[in-house]
Amino acid sequence: MKNKKVRYAAVVGIMSAIAVVLQFLEFPIPLVPSFIKFDFSDLPGLITAFAFGPVAGVLVSLIKNIIHLLVTQSGGVGELANFLIAAVFTLSAGLIYTFNKTRSGALIASLSASALSAVSCIITNYYIIYPIYYKIAMPKEAILGMYKQILPSVDSIFKSLLIFNVPFTFVKGLIISLLCFIVYKKLSPILKGKQM
């Protein structure tokens, strides 16, 4: 039991460190505002959630964002947004996979998690993240203006989130899930300390 706890803590720590590195390797995506960037930092959280359960995946997401606070350029708002959406992604994927630890179970878990994180991005951004951001960094009109530069007909933050953020978050989840499918089978025995 002690060895399992040590391995659990070690894997969460290592995967969090990898997630931090991946979070720095972000890049802008065409057709979305410049403040929305893509990175692969949710991949270690998803792998950990599949290997050790949903709580482990959420811990990876939490630790990576706490460390990222040391170099934040958003006053912590970006990290909060990243954590909330990543937590929904890893928690839901890990929970669903727990009840069906098969390849099809992983597929269902990944697709469901991608969809749930896309929905959560509307709720978290509209009710939590953007209202905070309006007060400390950028007024609502300025943020809406960044969306309007891409699609002039968009006339509200809610519509902006629906048109831009939801598809972005869903596709990001699918890409992360695909990468997880490619590497998980080889990594799982190593993470769990089993012979390959």
Segment 12-63, tens digit of pLDDT: 999 999 999 999 998 888 888 888 899 999 999 999 999 999 999 999 999 9
Domain CATH code at residue 186: 1.10.1760.20
Which range marks the domain in which residue 125 is found?
2-24+39-192
Model pLDDT, residue 192: 80
Closest to 108 in 3D by CA, of 171, 24, 177, 37: 177
Domain count, the chain: 1
pLDDT digit string, tens, across residues 174-195: 999 999 999 988 888 888 877 5
Query: Domain for residue 31, yes or no?
Result: no
Is the pLDDT higher at 69 or at 35? 69
146 contact partners, CB below 8 Å, separation of at least 6: 33, 34, 35
Query: Domain for residue 156, yes or no?
Result: yes
Model pLDDT, residue 45: 97
Query: Domain for residue 135, yes or no?
Result: yes
Model pLDDT, residue 5: 87
Query: Domain for residue 61, yes or no?
Result: yes
Contact status, residue 92 vs residue 109, Cβ threshold 8 Å:
yes
Query: Domain for residue 29, yes or no?
Result: no
